Structure 1
Amino acid sequence: MASHIGKLPVTVPAGVEVKIEGQNFSVKGAKGSDSYVIPEGITAAVEGNEIVLTPADDQRTTRAMHGLSRSIIAGMVKGVHEGYTKTLDIVGTGYRAVAKGKGIEFFLGYSHTITVNPPEGIEFELPNPNQVIVKGTDKQVVGQVAANIRKLRAPEPYKGKGVKYTDERILRKAGKAGK
């Protein structure tokens, strides 16, 4: 029995080059390149402009890895073709970000500034001092870098000050009630 997600073929867009050598899978596109080792018991093949994964047997672990491998490969194909982005908003009086080389220097109300340098394959964009866009080809790394930046000053529930995702809604508390 194969995974429902694993059965779905991954469409390869024009301009994306796929190479499968045994269990090694690599993909190259306009935004960059990535590679993945497909778990034992799962085979991948390119049929036309689609990647098809097939499990070797009916073991439950293979079924679980079948769907996971398909999702990872689909994410890699999308990443090298379109890329991934996460947008963060900086809310608060005096809170801002300034480009410093390839990195970013944050002023978040502490007595010191915090400098964040991008890891390999990640780039930062600052459309204005109160917004940071994290871009890259690897969905997991983009999300982790954005989460690490958010963690520098997580939004607080009373005034909503801090670093938050653009689409994040902060539940506000009432605060102290007067007499």
Structure 2
Amino acid sequence: MKPIMCVACVPSTNDKPLDNITEYQKLVGRLINLTLTRLDISFSVQVLSQYMHSPLQSHFDLAFRVLRYLKGSPGKGLHFEKDNSFSLKAYCDADWGKCKLNRKSFTGYLVYFYNSLVSWKSKKQATISRSFTESEYRAMASTAFEIVWIKNLLQDLCVNIELPVKLFCDNSSALQIAANHVFH
């Protein structure tokens, strides 16, 4: 699904507020519940949920666009597989300065246990990054915090996982910073 953030963050000049915002709130609330099993709409629904108290007509149209996407792509939910290895692996990514209003970056990560997705997040970063590498490094740090939390939770449940945990990132500069022991 194409990101809807650019359209939602910067409304057009002829966009009007909704007369009845409860319909929008109900629709977005149902979409939020659906994100528990449909991760592919998480980011779009997160952006739409930022306008729950003052939605515009374009936001309502974008919510219907998400519904049309869902109707056209059944069976894209979570799938759990059985595996014999007690391993964790994670993937992370960031979009540098994508929010047009405040130039903050977005972080997204997925954490897998037994080849099944157990944790995920798509969130706007708290601070403004000065470079793409910095935003990717922040994404790696958030993912590492989540991995440590899950590892500790599994240890409390007497589940020993295989170490080291693999963290996949697509930015070579951020990987070089993370691998440089002088900075740590």
TM-score category by the smaller chain?
under 0.3
Task: Normalising by structure 2, report the TM-score.
Answer: 0.25
Higher share in helix: 2
Give the TM-score of the pair, scaled to structure 1.
Answer: 0.25
Instruction: Name which one, 1 or 2, has greater alpha-carbon Rg.
Output: 1
